[in-house]
């Protein structure tokens, strides 16, 4: 009993300290403004996705396949542009990168709601290429605003805001698309999202730390190479052991991106699996609130994760996500499905957050925008792979297969990441031995 009381007291102390960190971060003016701005941008962005689908299906009287093709075109265009958008953020800054995009997007989405389907495909592709990289910008701004010790907590707050946006945005999108003509609903949601982009351009939050931005020698820019130089001059312990060279030659970066792809495969498979399961149980009307409970579990999980003192390794979180996703296949009614989904949801946002944190520590500060762009590509690949994989196993093995397949992929990815990390550890140990021999 005494031991249990001590354990409970220690847990309360740790969580209390973590919540104090949240209060401290929310009192930080830059952190607070970035989080609020991020919520204001992401809600209409999530709303616009559902409105775009409803516009194709009801407004243009096309099939769901046509709506899916439009979403694929938009997503692929965003993924193609993500690395160079991130590189532009690193090299020329936020305003010079985002300003031209906003002009293009205003033109595109002022026209797109009122054109036939074929023209909409073209305009959506252009809009995807010019999409404002709010994901990269928000996370870069938050990372640069806080000490390294608060990085996990502040990224967890951002993930929490994303989960809340995901829970609110689609609902507002459905309301807008059912009460207005879909063309006007699409115009409205896109213009509100663009207003958030303008707010981001006006706020212009710093994307690198003050000591990095202060470095400008021999005409060297404050970002890019200058950012790397400042990072090299930073005090010991404030940066990670970053190997030189292109990002794609960094094994840690590749491992994190691979883990991000596997995570998205799991989440996509779970999303489709829930729809298939509830249809099989003759409960299609429950899809919305069941997914919301899954999201609530994810929000709670990331809130707890960010309050922890010690970070949980990415491969461990990925394994836990897999281990809690596979049992969802055992659900035999709606109640058990909801409970199992809530449990696996606890590890969704923490895994994504851990991936972003690991990636931010694996690259120089001056390359963070490019790295976040590549992470967007990894997530896109995961979604593009997870959807057909889940559909295939659902068609041939029932809805349970989507949870099992996604979990197995995540377990394999976690094992591969663990093996890679073990190999790097052995290599670091062997090099000093050979040098001393």
Give the CATH number, domain containing residue 34.
Answer: 1.20.1250.20
Burial label, 66 (beta-carbon count in 10 A; 0-12, 13-18, 19+): middle
150 plus 245 within the same structural domain: no
pLDDT in tens, the chain (437 residues): 444 444 344 444 555 556 777 888 888 888 888 888 888 888 888 888 888 888 888 888 887 677 778 877 887 888 888 888 888 888 888 899 889 999 999 999 999 999 999 999 999 999 988 888 888 888 888 888 888 888 888 888 888 888 888 778 877 887 888 888 889 999 999 999 898 889 889 988 888 776 555 543 344 444 443 444 334 334 333 344 555 556 666 777 888 888 888 998 999 888 888 888 888 888 877 877 888 889 889 999 998 998 887 778 888 999 999 999 999 999 999 999 999 999 999 999 999 999 988 888 888 877 777 788 888 888 888 877 787 788 888 888 888 998 999 999 989 888 887 776 665 555 555 545 444 44
Q: How far apart are the first and last CA of the chain?
A: 54
Where does 286-346 have alpha helices with state H? 287-307, 314-325, 334-345
Q: What is the pLDDT of residue 291?
A: 84
Q: What is the pLDDT of residue 435?
A: 47
Q: What is the pLDDT of residue 121?
A: 92
> Is 225 a domain residue?
no
Given 150, 177, 212, the domain boundary residue is 212
Q: Could you give the CA distance from residue 133 to residue 82 in angstroms, rounded to a whole number?
A: 7
255 plus 205 within the same structural domain: no
Cβ within 8 Å of residue 281, ≥6 positions away:
333, 334, 337
Cβ within 8 Å of residue 306, ≥6 positions away:
18, 21, 22, 152, 153, 154, 155, 156, 157, 159, 160, 353
Q: What is the pLDDT of residue 52?
A: 86
293 plus 405 within the same structural domain: yes
> Is 222 a domain residue?
no
Question: Residue 318's closest CA among 351, 279, 271?
Answer: 351
**Alpha-carbon distances of 204 from 183, 361, 395, rounded to whole Å:** 31, 23, 48
Q: Which domain holds residue 138?
A: 18-212
> Is 224 a domain residue?
no
Cα angle 79-421-317, degrees, rounded to a multiple of 5? 65
Q: Could you give the CA distance from residue 237 to residue 7 in angstroms, rounded to a whole number?
A: 31
Q: Could you give the CA distance from residue 277 to residue 404 in angstroms, rounded to a whole number?
A: 13
User: What is the domain count for the chain?
Assistant: 2
- Region of 25 please: left (phi>0), alpha (psi -120 to 50) or beta: alpha
Q: What's the full length of the chain, in residues?
A: 437
95 plus 56 within the same structural domain: yes
189 plus 309 within the same structural domain: no
The label of the residue with tokens 């999980």 reads 301
42 plus 105 within the same structural domain: yes
299 plus 407 within the same structural domain: yes
Q: Could you give the CA distance from residue 147 to residue 292 in angstroms, rounded to a whole number?
A: 33
> Is 249 a domain residue?
yes
> Is 167 a domain residue?
yes
Q: Could you give the CA distance from residue 383 to residue 267 in angstroms, rounded to a whole number?
A: 8
């Amino acid at each position: 009993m005494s031991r249990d009381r001590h354990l409970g007291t220690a847990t309360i102390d740790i969580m209390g300290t973590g919540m104090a960190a949240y209060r401290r971060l929310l009192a930080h003016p830059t952190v607070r403004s970035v989080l609020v701005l991020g919520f204001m941008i992401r809600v209409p962005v999530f709303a616009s996705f559902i409105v775009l689908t409803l516009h194709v299906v009801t407004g243009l009287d096309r099939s769901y396949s046509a709506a899916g093709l439009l979403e694929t075109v938009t997503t692929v265009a965003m993924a193609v542009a993500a690395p160079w958008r991130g590189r532009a953020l690193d090299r020329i800054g936020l305003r010079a990168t985002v300003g031209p995009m906003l002009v293009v997007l205003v033109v595109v989405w002022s026209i797109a709601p009122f054109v036939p389907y074929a023209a909409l495909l073209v305009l959506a592709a252009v809009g995807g290429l010019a999409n404002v990289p709010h994901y990269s910008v928000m996370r870069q701004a938050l990372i640069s605003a806080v000490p390294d010790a608060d990085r996990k907590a502040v990224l967890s707050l951002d993930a929490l805001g994303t989960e809340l946006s995901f829970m609110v945005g689609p609902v507002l999108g459905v309301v807008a698309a059912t009460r207005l003509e879909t063309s006007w609903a699409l115009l409205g949601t896109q213009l509100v999202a663009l207003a958030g982009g303008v707010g981001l351009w006006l706020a212009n939050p710093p994307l690198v730390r003050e000591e990095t931005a202060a470095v400008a020698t021999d005409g060297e820019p404050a970002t890019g190479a200058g950012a790397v130089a400042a990072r090299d001059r930073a005090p010991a312990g404030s940066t990670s052991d970053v190997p030189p060279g292109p990002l794609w030659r960094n094994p840690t970066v590749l491992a994190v991106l691979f883990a991000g792809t596997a995570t998205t495969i799991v989440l996509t498979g779970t999303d489709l699996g829930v729809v298939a399961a509830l249809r099989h149980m003759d409960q299609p009307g429950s899809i919305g609130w069941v997914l919301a409970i899954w999201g609530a579990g994810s929000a709670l999980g990331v809130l707890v994760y960010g309050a922890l003192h010690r970070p949980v390794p990415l491969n461990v979180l990925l394994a836990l996500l897999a281990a809690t996703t596979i049992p969802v296949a055992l659900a035999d009614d709606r109640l058990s499905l909801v409970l199992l989904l809530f449990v696996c949801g606890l590890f969704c946002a923490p895994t994504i957050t851990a991936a972003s944190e690991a990636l931010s520590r694996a690259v120089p500060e001056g390359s963070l925008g490019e790295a976040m762009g590549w992470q967007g590509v990894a997530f896109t690949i995961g979604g593009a792979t997870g959807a057909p994989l889940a559909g295939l196993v659902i068609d041939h093995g029932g809805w349970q297969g989507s949870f099992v397949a996604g979990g197995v992929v995540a377990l394999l990815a976690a094992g591969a990441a663990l093996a890679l990390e073990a190999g790097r550890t052995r290599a670091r140990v062997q090099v000093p031995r050979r040098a001393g021999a």
